[in-house]
């Protein structure tokens, strides 16, 4: 059954979800906040947009046109519903399509910003996958791999355009190697820690520029929780939660 929720603390933005099928993650919101974009005149594409939390959040930061690409039909329909509820059809377009080869549909070397919150886990015969095919595709590299996403981003972006991604820290070395392989320069890096007391980061946020050299700024760490079940002040601000 479809349910309509506020996009975290943003009362003016609603998002359509479906129990057991797809709920957006807080990782998507951290990535959307991390993305730098101009107020207008840019072209943005979200690869694997789910039910459109990132495009919805980005409308708070930019008037630029945004395309979302979602492979799974049922999740794509939730994204369309989310856009319609918020009357954002003139700014956000979603496409029910495979990410691989999407540049042939939307145009090559035309985008200023690519955003991706990809499946975190490689798929192996021994993988502990979810019973829900929708969640399996969202979490495991069943339909697309990290390399295929970086390669597609390269084909979509103009020179100097940015690839923005969130991923698990154990795959940072692989990600950096892929950036070099596909001629990206790493520009911004931020580590995400589960708690203030965590000894190691779980996730990283990264911005890389197409056809540019590395010139890396490592930003301040981001702590998700300051104590058990209480978000940090910065995360509360990102989520628009009142203190």
pLDDT in tens, 91-119: 999 999 999 999 999 999 999 999 999 98
pLDDT of residue 227: 82
Enclosing H/E stretch for 174: helix 172-181
Q: Among 86-90, 112-116, 201-205, 227-231, whose mean pLDDT is lowest? A: 227-231
The interaxial angle of helices 172-181 and 146-156, nearest 10 deg, is: 40
Task: Please check the confidence at residue 235 and state whether its pLDDT lies above 60.
Answer: yes
Token couple for 38: 């101009």
Span 66-82, mean pLDDT?
Answer: 95
User: Which DSSP category does 121 fall into?
Assistant: B
Distance of CA 236 to the CA centre of its chain: 19
Model's pTM, two decimal places?
0.93
CATH of region 2-239, choose from 1.25.40.10, 3.30.1300.10, 3.40.50.720, 3.40.50.150 = 3.40.50.150
Token couple for 207: 């911005």
Span 158-170, mean pLDDT?
Answer: 97
Distance of CA 176 to the CA centre of its chain: 18
Residue pLDDT, tens place only, 166-176 = 999 999 999 99
């Amino acid at each position: 059954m479809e349910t309509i929720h506020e996009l975290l603390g943003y009362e003016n933005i609603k998002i359509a979800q479906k129990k057991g099928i797809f709920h957006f993650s807080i990782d998507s919101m951290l990535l959307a906040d991390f993305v730098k974009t101009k107020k207008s005149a840019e072209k943005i594409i979200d690869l694997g947009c789910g039910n459109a939390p990132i495009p919805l959040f980005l409308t708070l930061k930019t008037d630029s046109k945004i395309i979302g690409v979602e492979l799974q039909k049922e999740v794509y329909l939730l994204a369309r519903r989310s856009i319609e509820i918020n009357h954002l059809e003139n700014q956000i377009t979603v496409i029910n399509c495979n990410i691989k080869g999407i540049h042939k549909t939307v145009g090559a070397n035309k985008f200023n910003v690519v955003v991706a919150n990809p499946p975190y886990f490689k798929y192996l015969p021994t993988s502990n996958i979810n019973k829900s095919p929708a969640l399996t595709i969202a979490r495991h590299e069943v339909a697309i791999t990290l390399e295929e996403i970086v390669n597609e981003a390269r084909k979509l972006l103009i020179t100097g355009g940015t690839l923005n991604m969130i991923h698990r820290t154990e795959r940072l070395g692989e990600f950096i190697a892929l950036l070099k392989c596909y001629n990206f320069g790493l520009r911004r890096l931020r580590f995400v820690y589960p708690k203030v007391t965590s000894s190691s980061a779980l996730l990283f946020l990264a911005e890389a520029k197409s056809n540019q050299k590395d010139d890396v700024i490592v930003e301040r760490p981001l702590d998700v929780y300051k104590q058990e079940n209480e978000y940090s002040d910065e995360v509360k601000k990102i989520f628009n939660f009142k203190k």
